[in-house]
Each structure stands twice: as structure tokens, then as C-alpha cells.
Amino acid sequence: MKRLAKWRLVSLFAMIALVLSGCGKPFVSTLMPAGEVADMQYDLMKLSTLIMVGVIIVVMIIFVLVFVRYRRKDDKTIPKQVEGSHKLEIIWTVVPILLLLILAVPTVASTFKLADVDQMDKKNTKALVINVRSHLYWWDFEYPSKKIVTSQELVVPTNEKVYFNLKSMDVKHSFWIPAVGGKLDTNTDNINKFWLEFDDKRANEAGNLFYGKCAELCGPGHALMDFKVKAISRDKFDAWVTAMQDVKEPQKATGALASQGQEIFNKSCIGCHAVTPANKMPETARIAPNLSNFGERSRVAAVLDHNKKEVKNWIKNPEAYKPGNLMTGKYPEMSDEQLDALAEYLMSLKVQE
Ligand code: HEC
Ligand SMILES: [Cu+2]
């Protein structure tokens, strides 16, 4: 019986190890840092783990030595009673203080470095600043200096500092790109600022697509409140910005089916969704994801595969894929033909080819 319990425990640990081994992917792993911030945070993790493991090893060695060496057998005498030892007390006070200092100095130094956002607040700053807005359960990214907005997929240049203003439009969320840095809360009543840097080499290994997450329990759809980060070279980034800026009017749909889809969209969906990337649009056009470059996304609603079938599934019943999301029930039910047309239209929304 006992042996069986032991084996259960062993197999449980083996399974956990197996599951956790799946986490070691360059696009999502904190343990594969992909930029300056992630590097700093990883170094701090390593340092504190090293110190903790060191303490455990020393304590365990002393514990076992004392256990073996001073074990009593038939001896009934009472040992010599000692009240306090200056030497020992000094040792076990000074050693932890030293260990904490070793931990504190780099931690405080990194904390200030990570919070240094002077560059973004300078007038006429050259630094790239992105305003992030979190919503139940999706993300909105505005590039104020470029006058464009996009949603669900953040696009950033690699190998330079990118600065973020973080804000929430409803409840508290938290902005986290596990491989690159974070988490920082997005609040409703103040703006949190920080910077990240995306390493070019790591981005390549990750297929230029990092995973982002909401890291603050915010409701039933929280676990599905993902976003993606396209980290590309500065040249490619500039090309993307230009392509986004070039979309002036709602893009003309090509083909009969897509045009039909556009018509339906303009009737039933445009009240919530914008299809132009300009950030001069009214606030009411920003209560749902901006779909200007929806055809270039890698996911539908952040969680479904990016194809027409899933687009139709999503429009038919969003609640089934993201519980509690705010697209539910405020537009008419669509027939299969209408869904086909809508999917065709949405997938054709591209700014780059
Ligand atoms: C009441 C406002 C509202 C209406 C009307 C609406 N939507 Fe949405 N839609 C949303 C919200 C909010 C989300 C984000 C859901 C989430 O991810 O939590 C969304 C998400 C989506 C997505 C996924 C977006 C992405 O970036 O991956 C698609 C596609 C979509 N809607 C299509 C449509 C279509 C087509 C219509 C019209 C038939 C429509 N929506 C009508 C609010 C609305
Ligand atoms: Cu959340």
C-alpha cells in the first residue's frame, strides 16, 4: 500500500515535469529571456535562487551532521546547559544580513533602471511610445506619434527601447509578455509607464511572434485575454507604419462576396468595430478591436486559429469561445451566406502584402 502511494507521488511529479517542460518555448518562456528587461529580471531570479539553494544546502549539511554526530544511545546524563553563545548569535545574524545585502543591491539598482522612463516624457522625444488600453477581454495599441491604432497584435521594432503607457478602460488587468518583461498593472485611474526591449535574435527564434497575457484575474474570460507581439526589424516596422498610415478610407473590398460582406459589416458591426487605423476616430469607434489589418492577424479574438471557419464560428457565438466577452447579442443573427460574406470581407482586410 505504502509502496503504491510512493509510486503515485513519483508518477505525479514525472507528469508535472513533463507538462512544465512544455513551457520552455522561446515565444513564451520567462526562462528564455528575450530582451534587456527580461535579462535583468532573469538575473535577479537566478541570484535569489542561488542564495536560497545555498542556504538550504548549508542548513541541511549541518542538520545531518548534528543528527548523526550527537545522537544519544544509552547515555542518560544531562548534557552541559549553555545559555546563549555570542559567537553563534553573531554568525547567524551577520550571515543573513550579508545575504540580504547581496540580494538587495542589484534588486534596487535594477528596479530604478526598469522604471526609468525619462526618455518618453521628454519633449519631441525620438523614442517610440505606445499607449496600451486593456478591455474585457482584448487589447488596444495606439501609436500616438504615428497616428495609428491597432488591436490584439502589438507590432514593435527590435533592439531598441519601446516605451509604454498602460491604462485600463474597465477593470484592472495586467500587461505581461512573459519572454520579454512585465507584468505591470493597467489601472482605470492612473497611467503606468515602463519600457521593454525586444532582442532581435530571440525574436527570430520565436518566429517573430511573442505571446502576451493578461496577468490579473479580471473575469471569466481572463485566461483567454491573450495578445501577440510581432517583433520585427526597424525597417520592417517603418514599412508597416507607412502601410497603416496609407489606409485613409475604409478599404475597398475586392470581389462580389467581400463587397457583400462589407455591406453587412457596415450595417451591423461598424458601430463597435473600426476598420481604419487612424487614431483620430471617435472614442465610440474604439469599444471593440480595430479590424483594419484583421487579415494579417495570427489569431481570431486572440484564441482561435486564424481562418474563415473560425471567424464564422466566432461571429455566430462569441460567448462559446470567450465567456463574458462584450460582443454578445448586440447584433442580428447571421445566415450562413451572410457569415461567408463577412468572413471573406474580414480576411481581406490587409494593409501589407
Ligand atoms: C456591441 C459591440 C460589438 C458589435 C455590434 C460587434 N462586435 Fe465584434 N467584437 C466586440 C468586442 C468587444 C470584441 C472583443 C471580444 C474579446 O476578444 O473579448 C469583438 C471581437 C470581434 C472579432 C475578433 C477580433 C480580433 O481582433 O481578433 C471579430 C472578427 C468580430 N468581433 C467581428 C464582428 C462582426 C463581423 C460583427 C458584426 C456582425 C461584430 N463583430 C459586431 C464587440 C462588437
Ligand atoms: Cu485578466
* pLDDT, tens digit (0-9, with 9 covering 90-100), for 228-266: 999 999 999 999 999 888 886 666 778 888 888 888 988
327 with 223, same domain?
Answer: no
Last residue of one domain, picked from the residues 232, 266, 301? 232
Ligand 1, pocket-test mutation among 225, 273, 297, most atoms within 8 A of CB:
273
Handedness of CA 118, 124, 128, 132 (dihedral sign): positive
Residues 195 and 274 in one domain: no
Q: Which residue has the cell 513533463?
A: 18
Q: Which domain holds residue 195?
A: 25-67+85-232
The domain boundary, picked from 200, 232, 264, lies at 232
Q: Give, using CA atoms, the residue closest to atom 10 of ligand 1.
A: 327
Q: Do residues 260 and 228 share a domain? A: no
Residue whose CA lies nearest to ligand 1 atom number 8: 327
Give the integer Cα–Cα distance in Å for 20 and 127: 37
**Whats the size of the chain, residue-wise?**
353
pLDDT single digits (tens) 138-166: 999 999 888 889 999 999 999 999 999 99
Taking CB atoms and a 6 Å cutoff, what residues make up the pocket around ligand 1? Answer: 137-138, 151-152, 221, 265, 268-269, 271-273, 288-289, 294, 297, 300-302, 311, 314-315, 322, 325-327, 330-331, 342, 346
Give the model confidence (pLDDT) of 102-138 as tens digits: 999 999 999 999 989 888 888 888 899 999 999 999 9
Q: Could you give the dihedral angle defined by the CA atoms of residues 40, 46, 48 and 49, in that order, rounded to the nearest 10 degrees?
A: 160
**pLDDT confidence of 332, banded at 50, 70, 90?**
confident
With 70 as the cut, is the pLDDT of residue 280 above it?
no
Q: Does the residue 72 lie in any domain?
A: no
Residue of the nearest CA to atom 42 in ligand 1? 327
**In whole angstroms, what is the distance from residue 42 CA to residue 235 CA?**
29
Buried b (16+ CB within 10 A) or exposed e, 188-210: eeeebbbbbbbbbebbeebebeb
Block residue for cell numbers 527590435: 158
Say if residue 153 is in the same domain as residue 260: no
In a domain, 7, yes or no: no
Region 80-103: mean pLDDT is 92
153, 155, 172, 154: which is closest to 222 by C-alpha?
A: 172
pLDDT at 125: 82
Please give the sequence-ordered ranges of beta strands (E in DSSP) within 158-301, or none if there are none.
161-168, 173-177, 181-186, 192-197, 209-214, 227-232, 299-300
- Same domain (yes/no): 227, 276: no
| C-beta of residue 202 within 8 angstroms of C-beta of residue 34 | yes
| pTM reported for the whole predicted model | 0.86
User: Does any domain span residue 191?
Assistant: yes
